[in-house]
Structures are given as C-alpha cells and as structure tokens.
A and B are shown apart, each in its own frame.
Chain A
Amino acid sequence: MLDSTPAGLLPDETPLLQTVGLTKRYGSFLANDAIDIDIWPQQIHALLGENGAGKSTLVKAIYGLIQPSEGEMRWQGEPMVLSGPSEARAHGIGMVFQHFSLFDNLTVAENVALGLDGKESFKDMSARLKEVSNVYGLPLEPRREVWQLSVGERQRIEIVRALMQNPKFLILDEPTAVLTPQEADQLFIVLNRLKSEGRAILYISHKLEEVKRLCDTATILRGGRKVATCNPKAETAASLARMMVGADIKEVKIAAGRRTTVPRLVVNDLSLAPDDAHGVRLQHISLELKGGEILGIAGVAGNGQDEFFAALSGERLAKDPGTVVIDGIAAGHLSITQRRKLGAAFVPEERLGHGTAPRMKLSENALLTGHAASGMVQHGFVNTAATLSTVDRATESFDVRKAKRDPEAASLSGGNLQKFIVGREILRNPTVLVVSQPTWGVDAGAAAVIRQALLDLAASGAAVLVTSQDLDELTEITDRIAVMFHGHLSEPLATAEASREKLGLLMGGSSLEQKEAADVSGG
C-alpha cells in the first residue's frame, strides 16, 4: 500500500490523513484539545493560528516527533501510530521546518542524507539530489557547507530533502517568513506543481494574503482548539484574522496632521568593515530622518541590518564621529550609554540575550538600559523603587501580561516581553528610536500594540527607524522605506509609492546592479 508514486492514491472518499480528537497535554496545559483535521490529496491546506495556538504541537504529532495524549490519526483511512519521524517518512509524510533542521558544519549532501533513511549509497543519493533539485528548479551545490549558504538556499535544502522522499504529504512551517516576495513566488510555483502531482500540502503561515492566494482549505486554531475550517479564498484577511485572534484586532491609527521637524538622526556615508567572517560590510550608507517621521528598512535578513543596528546603537564604533549624528551631535565615536544620554533608544532584534538578560528580573533589565538617564542609580546604588515603577508603568501602558509583578525576562511570552522592551525604551521619551524587527514572532494583538506605540512616539516628535522583514508592517506604519542589500542602503521610497514589486526588486539587488553598471560606465 506504500507505493512509491503519489499517483496511486485512494479515491476521494477517504482523506489522506485525518486526526480524530487529537489531544496533547503537557502537565495540566492543553496544547492541542481534541483537534479534527482532514487532509485531502491535491489540496493545499492552510493551518492558521497565533503563536501558542497549538500549530507546532499538531504538526509535531503528525510528523511523529511527539505522541498525542489522546485521539488518533488515520492514514488513508487506516489508524496510524507513529513512534518517530522515520515512521512518518516511511508513510510518505515530509516536513520542512520553520527553524531549519540543518547542520551548519556539514555539507548540503550530508544534510540531505541525514533526512533520508540511508537505503541508497551516498553517491547515488548525491546524484539523485542534483536531479531532484534540477527538476523542481531548486538549484543546490551538494558539496558546500551549510554555513556558507543564504537563508533562501538553506530552505531549498529543506524542501529538496523532503521531496527526495517522494512524499504524499508535505508539511511546511512558515516557509516564506524569510523569503523575498520573488523567492516566495518561486516557492508557490513549486508548491502548485506538487499539488498538481497529487500530493497534499499542509501550509502554516501568518501571512493571510498569501494563504488566500495559495490555499484551498484553511483550519484555524486558537488556544489549542480548532475554531473553524473554511475556504480562505471566500474569506477576507480581516475575517481570517478575527477567527485567529477571537476578537477584532485594533486598527492601527495614524495620527492626522503629523508634522516632520528637524533632522534627528543623520547617517553620513557610513562604511564599516565586518567584525567577523560571516558579517556584511556596510558601504556608504547615508540617510536623514526627521522628528515625527518613521523610516522603514526592508531587506532579506543578513544583508547588513545587524551591522547597521550595531553601528547606530554604538555597539560598534565608527572611525569618523560625523558618520552618525544624533540630534545634531556627531555621535559615531560615542558609546551606547553616551548615545542614550543624547536621547536615543535602541531595541535590538533578539529579545532574549540581546534585548534582555533572560535570567534577570524585569526591573533589573529596565535598569540595564535605563541607568544612563533616568535616575535609577543614585550614588552608585540601585534605586529599587524607581526600577520597579518603570516595570509597573511599562506593564500598564503596554498591557504586558505576566504572572507576578517582577518576573524573570525569560518567563514572559515573546509578545509580552517585546511589549515590555519597547515600552521600557518609549517610557524614556527618546527623541530617536532605532528598532529592529519590532513584531517578529509576536502575536497579532501585541503587534498592533507595538505598532501603535511606534506611531504615537513619532507623532510626539521623535524620529523612528524600523528595520523589518515584514513588508506589510513597513507599509502600514512607515512614511518612507529604504531597502538594504549586501550592505548598501537604497534611496528611500515614499511608502505610498513603494509597491511590493519595487521593494522585491530592490531586496533582490537588481536596481543596485544597474546603478553600479551606470556608475562604472559613467566613471
């Protein structure tokens, strides 16, 4: 019954895979509560839900990584119990992980071999790898080591690895989160082709427009329960979001009559060599950001955004003080603390480990960035009342939900911690805020709160610089968008004129090449 071609599927009366009352308990916590889901061949089935809704738990159970506490799975109508992923693969279930399950120090071919069951020789496998990657237009070089590859290439490895098992059913966990719009379009072509070959696909995504475009069915989870199964093409993004959140998401309101004032953050021809072998060289970056304005920086991860953030925040110093000017004062040579004293605030991308010290309390974390300018330290002693009141104010203003007054940073959920970090900085009334990936991995409700806070801050006259890979987010809140590619920053486009196509091209570096070509011919 396990024929190797997906063409030999049963007639349409039986779903390819069914979960019946699937429940997974962790202690008293119900991660999945009696979930029924039917997966049909030749369909792309979306699985929607907020962080913590139980999507990952469900797919882990389907892939055999965890055992359900109750309920059962049926494969082509027959009960199926999986003791591990290799059994899932033997049935014909493939999985593309969100956080890639790749090994950085192994080669592409070795990575693929580890995802297969080792029945063919390494040489045959490598040859088949080339063949499969060519057939689906997913080019890969088998001998390269993974750490050398871009995020898009890494995802190709995952997909090719799954395809080499010739799966009847393929699970993709947020595959487009790290791709440019063009790369995502390429992926959709592959997925539609897989669908037309008769395979079933379970597609997990936050991007509702994408789901509407691509998927035939959608199952929506909330708080571990299934709340609906629907046809996403018949829904609107707003109605899907409402089902996910269980309430209307507050529309982000842009204050009318916001005026731009003086330049508050100016970058003049900033170039910076990378400090490690994996880094990106920043090349002649210039921008001017006025008070009251929000500038977005788009771009695929790893194009110099981290380096740019470090140069702005003072984690790395520029040789020439004039390259970074905060509120009229040359600050390129100043330390982080000195820049904070000038009125700048910084929110890095990584919440745990960069934005906060995970095992320290929120009040202590508030002190770590607030000590420079807000009276939390007196004569070298910590003013505990002041640090705690900062926590309380951030909790109140930004709706931070936590179990006790002053818990460890690591105990908060991603969304709540991010609200706390952004709140901590905004409460200092900065005149310049540099924030990287403000809503990455944050649930929709918290994301709305954070975006509103950024807009309000700009409305109060601060300059806000937002780096994000989420184009929808940038389009929603920014006034202008620039794109970072290979350490270059494009000219900012007015957000109203920045179409996805234009931005996508810039993110792929195409106009840059033309510009360079023009430079060469002109010079």
Chain B
Amino acid sequence: MELAEAIILSVLAASTPLLIAATGELVAERSGVLNLGVEGMMIVGAACGFGAAWLSGSIFVGALCGIAAGTLMSLIFAIMALGLAVNQVASGLALTIFGIGLSGLIGAGFVGERITSAPHLYIPGLTDLPVIGRIVFGEDAFVYFSLALIVGVWFFLYRTRSGLILRACGDNHVSAHALGYPVLRIRLFAVMFGGACAGLAGAYLPLAYTPFFIPGMTAGRGWIALALTVFASWRPGRLVIGAYLFGAVTILQLHAQGAGIGIPSQFMSSLPYLATVIVLVALSRARTGGSTAPAALGTVFVPDR
C-alpha cells in the first residue's frame, strides 16, 4: 500500500510538467502553429525559475520568472515564424537548440545550490485520510494548477467565441482572414500562451520536482509534451489521460530498473513515442472523415494587404 501510494505520488509529480507544457502546445497547435521549441522554452524556464527562486527565496517569484522566460523565448519564435514567415519546423528546432545553450549560461552560477521545494498542501483531517488523503489533498500547487489550466483551456476552446475563432485559425487561416479575423495576432497570443506554459513546466522541475538545477534537466520532456499533443489528437480530455499515462511510464521505468527487471531502460524511455506512433496509426485508420490535426497546422500565413 505504502509503495502504491508512493508510486502514484511520483507519477503525479512526473506527469505535471508534461501536462502543463502540452497544454500550452495544444493551444498553439490548435491555432495552427507547430512550435518545436518546447524543450528549449522549458529548459530556459527551469534555469530562470530556479535562479529567481534562489535569489528571492520565493517559489512563487520563481514560477513567475519561469513563465516570463518561456514567454520571451516564444516571442523569439513568433518573430521568426509569424512575423518573418520562416518555416515553423526550422524555427522551432532552432529555438530548442538556442534554449539549451542559453539555459546552461544562465544556470551556470546556480548549479550546486539548493532551495526548499514548493510546499505540499496540508488540510488536517483530509490529507490524513488513508489511501487517497495524500494523493488528493497533499499535492503541491503546481499539480492543482495544471488541472485547473487544462479545464480552463477546454472551456476556452469549446465554450467561448474566442476559442472558436482560435480553432478556426488552425483549421483554415485563409478563410479566417477572409472573414476578418487577425490570424497572426491570434496565433501570436496562442504561441505566447504556449511559451508561458512551457516556461512554467520547466520551472516546475527545479522548484518542485527536485530542489536544485542541473543543465539539461528537462531531459527530453519537451519532446514528450509534443508527442503528447499528437497522442491526445489535440483534445484536452485525452491530453490529461495521456499526460498521466506518459508520466506513469517514466516512473515505472525507474521502478523497473530499481527492481532489476531486465528490460533495457532505453526501450522503456522510448515507450511514450511508440505509444504516440501507435495512436497516430490507429486514429488515421479509424478516421471516418475530416481531419484530426488542425488542418492548417505548421503552414505559414502571409496576409495580402
């Protein structure tokens, strides 16, 4: 029982950055922008978030700085991919490479420092409940926030007019433009939201997951978040399921190694990607029509004026 609880807690912790980063990317991709720079935005968010938290002594300030750093990074991407209409794949890859280097530079002074991790919720009585107590009422603020965030995004996309317009831009930017919607501005906001989420997801790692910063600590989580968006076929509900599934795979892989089960760890770490490929194949086979991906995803838009 103890072990199961520990595993579930660690799964939740491992899933949260995936969920936050993928939520942001989902919004960006729904508007038609493929930003492959998630990993880069995350790692810069992690470095800046940790630095700010260490200097100020406040996890909250650290989280805000992570968000700001991710947003700034996404602006670089937006200038290239939206402003200058550069190929989105190339710009996104460049952003990741740039971010990994930049985070090493920013974080160099903080390597080896420790902070106090984000506190976990404690409600007397509730948190002490057996089995579910710590799982439901004993998480850190990021976990609750990530769930609120994805519910909010779902409501925004499917229940508000702005969300409808954002989805329309992702489906057919030519039509959206013809109807008078500012496609590039809408995509800019979507990309910035994606950057903010990636920055926060990155900051989560040194602020709550481990109490220190090491270069390259995102360790491919940005790529998993990208795969997750596809895995979820751009639906918020499936994104939650996918995030926890991918998180669980990561943790199981650790436990499997610890228990000495003879599956190569490389195989285990490739599982999220394998699952994504399988889901993609299954989706395209089961498709009755229409398209699962936003139809304008990854295409450059230049309005005629």
Which A residues are within 8 Å of any B CB, using their own CB?
64-67, 84-86, 88-89, 97, 99-106, 110, 113-115, 118, 122, 145, 147-148, 277-278
Contact = CB atoms under 8 A, between A and B. Distances in A.
Interface in B46-60: none
Contacts of B164: 106, 110, 113-114
A376 B291 CA distance: 41
Interface of B: 161, 164-165, 167-168, 171-172, 174-181, 287-291, 294-295, 304-305
B157 to A, nearest CB: 12
A118 B171 contact: no
Contacts of B290: 104-105, 145, 147-148
B295 A85 contact: no
A104 B295 contact: yes
A103 B175 contact: yes
Contact of A103 (B172, B287, B304, B305): B172
Contacts, number: 69
A113 B181 CA distance: 13
A442 B15 CA distance: 56
A64 B182 CA distance: 13
Nearest to B167: A106
Contacts of B177: 65
Nearest to A66: B305
B165 A114 contact: yes
B295 A106 contact: no
Contacts of B174: 99, 101
Given A66-B304, A145-B290, A86 B180 contact: yes
Contacts of B168: 103, 106, 110, 114
Contacts of B176: 103, 114
Contacts of B172: 101-104
Contacts of A101: 172, 174-175, 178-179
28 contacts: A65-B177, A65-B178, A66-B305, A85-B178, A88-B180, A97-B175, A99-B174, A101-B172, A101-B179, A102-B175, A103-B167, A103-B172, A103-B175, A103-B176, A104-B172, A105-B167, A105-B291, A114-B165, A115-B179, A122-B161, A145-B290, A147-B289, A147-B291, A148-B289, A148-B290, A277-B288, A277-B289, A278-B289
Nearest to B180: A85
A144 to B, nearest CB: 11
Given A65-B177, A65-B178, A103-B168, 7 more contacts: A85-B180, A97-B178, A101-B174, A106-B167, A113-B164, A114-B179, A115-B179
> Helix, strand, loop or mixed for chain B's interface?
loop
A300 B21 CA distance: 47
Contacts of B165: 114
Interface centre among A99, A110, A113, A114 (most CB of B within 10 A): A114
Nearest to A65: B178
A118 B171 CA distance: 19
A105 B161 contact: no
Contacts of B167: 103, 105-106
- The 4 lowest CB-CB distance pairs between A and B, nearest first, are A85-B180, A101-B175, A103-B171, A101-B178
A47 to B, nearest CB: 18
A277 B175 contact: no
Contacts of B161: 113, 118, 122
A67 B291 contact: no
A389 B269 CA distance: 58
Contacts of B288: 277
A277 B178 CA distance: 29
- Most A-side CB within 10 Å, residue of B161, B181, B287: B161
Given A66-B305, A277-B289, A106 B180 contact: no
B183 to A, nearest CB: 12
A106 B174 CA distance: 15
Given A114-B165, A277-B289, A106 B178 contact: no
Contacts of A65: 177-178, 180
Nearest to B293: A105
Contacts of B178: 65, 85, 97, 101
A100 to B, nearest CB: 8
Contacts of A89: 180
Contacts of B181: 114
A3 to B, nearest CB: 23
A139 B305 CA distance: 36
B131 to A, nearest CB: 42
Contact of A104 (B179, B180, B287, B291): B291
Given A101-B179, A113-B161, A106 B289 contact: no
Contact of A105 (B180, B295, B304, B305): B295
